[in-house]
Structure 1
Amino acid sequence: MRYLNIEDFNEIDRLTIPEYELRIKAYQLKSLDMQYNIHLQAWATVMAGQTRKGKPVYRTFDKFFNYQKAEKRILGRDHSLPKNQEKEKLQNWIANFNS
């Protein structure tokens, strides 16, 4: 209910497993877009002033935040983390983000 923005128990009862999984994936992608925007703002701040020995700490935005890699993880195309560890990491991030 919290993540899917559903308040009607009848709608929850009609929800199929594939529809639930699709809605969760959409929620995760929406959260990723929010995370991207947060990192983009932080990137602009970093580029405005942070340097190491006179050079920017991150030369490109992709090194600061790899959107494609995070998206692949959500869509199940990146297997660098075991599924349960990946899911737990994302759930922890979401829980911390929402609090």
Structure 2
Amino acid sequence: MAVNCFRYLGFTSFDQVDQLTIAQYEVMMESLELKMLDQNLHEHRQAFLNFVVRAEKKTGKNRSKPVYKKFQQFFDYDAELAKVKQRRKKKQSRFSGIGKLLKKGE
């Protein structure tokens, strides 16, 4: 347990390990496993994108050209940013009236 705390959880002293309960340790280790899984997903997604960005389409008998000539064709940052902002606006407007009701009740 102590080795995992030092190796994976960033603990720097035995006092930190001694103050940790078994339940806390189990939650922290599960969190670490999920974090590693997320990193693994990111790496595989990156490998897939590396494959996709090199895609070519045939333009003749022995010729081909890239599917994506510009990075923006592959990933349009501005469009993705607009989607995120739009989702945030929807979430904020959905709960905007609740704050007023809670303040009245106090």
TM-score class normalised by the smaller sequence: 0.3 to 0.5
So what's the TM-score if we normalise by structure 2? 0.43
Question: Relative contact order (C-alpha < 8 Å, sep 6+): which is higher?
Answer: 1
Q: Report the structure number with the largest CA radius of gyration.
A: 2
